[in-house]
Structure 1
Amino acid sequence: KEVHNIPAMKVNLLFQYKRPQFITMASGAEWHLWNQKYFRYHLYAEQHALLSHIEVKFGSDAIVFYAAPAVEDVSDLVKLKKKNVIIDNTNFRRASELNGHRRNTYIKAGTYSQACSEPQRLDNFHFLELIEGIKPSTQRENGQFLVEFAKRISGSMREAQNVGYLRTAFVDRMS
């Protein structure tokens, strides 16, 4: 049965899930930024280049996020899922905020991050408020919105296969 009362889609949201390491010792490379236990995830150059490429190609029609839960182990993640509170316990960062960095660190969801190569504080934003505040660039029927997105993402992926630093990532993954 087709559903017709779904609100109009405003923007494409693309998430790159990151499973963070939980750093518990003062020997952690970024310990001096927090002076307490913290979470850290690494950015992979080829993956980040592709995410940045997509974000640039789509402009205001897509937002690309890294999403990393603030949990110490998988059982904690399952508990959050059962309570329907994963979003509230996840660190979200726009991919573009992490350009030029190799890692992102945080102590809990809902607070700022410290992106690293050269440490840079990234202030927190409320994910759901950000999404709710987006105004669609054009009014489209949801089916058309999805078809256009599929065509554009497919084109962006084909284009990325031919861009030097992105091509290497594709060749390595596909062979």
Structure 2
Amino acid sequence: MDIEFKEKTFEKYFGHELARLTNITFSPDQCDEALLGFDEAFFMPEEWFFRFGPYVRRRRRGRLTGIEIDEFNKLGKSIASHMPDFRLNLFVQFKRPIYLTSRGAKEWSDWKQSYFRYETTPHQQEALERIDAQSYGRAATIYASPAFRHDKVLWEHMRNGAVVEHSNMASAGKLKGHEHYSYIAPGYFGKGHSETVDIESDPLQQIIGTGYERNGPLPLNQHLKKTAAAIIEATSGSDLVTPVFHQVQTAMGLEDLNPNSLYDAMAIIRIFSDAFGVHYYALG
């Protein structure tokens, strides 16, 4: 049975709640229509908007009009110096599962009741595994999907700020080698398939807490540059990941990107997000 709401709707409210779990959250790919990709859930200093307000993106993939990239980088450094530091990256692959109610369903024997299931995509899965490895503990990569299927339930959870609470989350690393993942309830437990394996992932708050304890604080501009450098490494030398990243990079007309430039670093993160359908959140 199909889930009644769209994946994009679930992503939006999950992201809003995620932003409230931390002191400050930044996501450059959260809202396509915003000047720089922010939406109302993500706190940024007013000065950022006041300084960049006059400069608009004239077309979807065009560069900002009216400001030099060097000036953008300098201003970004200045703004970052007045903001809280950042410690962790969270890459979230949202999934819209199907709900299986038939005794003839392939994994029915594993659950002996109705269950949710989604597929993993090889190039997305490898991209998440590689970015996790290249980030040296500064990133967490997870899948997130609803453990409910009706529109009215989504709106109820949205009003109560309980979308995250009623979602199922799985570590991308623990899904390595599995083509499907199934679950029956919110939380962090499910099963990987085709050879059935129980999978228990770390709770989101534990992921955030461990990341904060383990990682040194960095200003936002440095944090984003470090993230972009990890993405460049993660998307190099892979038969599955590299062609997809380069295809999107070329389509966007963003060749010769330098992760040591804040403007380019944000572009690299956006390319990765678009190429692999992943949402990126910097947590501070």
TM-score by length of 1: 0.84
Is 1:142 paired with 2:217?
Answer: no
Superposed CA RMSD in Å reads: 2.5
Unaligned runs of 5+ in 2: 1-45, 48-78, 252-284
Instruction: List 4+ stretches of structure 1 deviating above 6 A.
Output: 171-175
Secondary structure, aligned partner of 2:117: strand
Deviation of the 1:119 alpha carbon = 0.5
Report the identity percentage.
Answer: 25
Is 1:72 paired with 2:143?
Answer: no
Answer yes or no: is the 8 Å Cα contact 1:39–1:105 preserved in 2: yes
What is the aligned partner in structure 1 of residue 202 from structure 2? Answer: 125
Unaligned runs of 5+ in 1: none
Deviation of the 1:111 alpha carbon = 5.4
What is the aligned partner in structure 2 of residue 18 from structure 1? Answer: 95
Structure with the greater alpha carbon radius of gyration: 2
Secondary structure, aligned partner of 2:240: helix
What is the aligned partner in structure 2 of residue 166 from structure 1? Answer: 241
More displaced stretch, 164-173 vs 29-38: 164-173
Deviation of the 1:67 alpha carbon = 0.6
Q: May I ask how many residue pairs the two structures share in their alignment? A: 171
Residues 103 and 92 of structure 1, relative CA distance in 2, 3 Å threshold:
same
Residues 14 and 71 of structure 1, relative CA distance in 2, 3 Å threshold:
same
Of 124, 129, 136, the residue aligned with 1:47 is 124
Structure number with the higher strand fraction is 1
* Residue identity matched to 1:149: T
Deviation of the 1:76 alpha carbon = 2.8
* Residue identity matched to 1:60: G
- Distance in 1 (alpha carbons) for counterparts of 2:207 and 2:228: 23
Equivalences for residues 1-12 of structure 1 within 5 A:
1-2=46-47, 4=82, 6=84, 8-12=85-89
Secondary structure, aligned partner of 1:105: strand
- Distance in 1 (alpha carbons) for counterparts of 2:219 and 2:241: 33
Cα deviation per residue 1:50-78 (whole Å; 9 max; x = unaligned)? 11111111120111101111111344333
Is 1:115 paired with 2:192?
Answer: yes
* Residue identity matched to 2:198: R
- Distance in 2 (alpha carbons) for counterparts of 1:116 and 1:55: 22
Answer yes or no: is the 8 Å Cα contact 1:110–1:125 preserved in 2: no
* Residue identity matched to 2:238: V
Deviation of the 1:123 alpha carbon = 2.2
Deviation of the 1:46 alpha carbon = 1.6
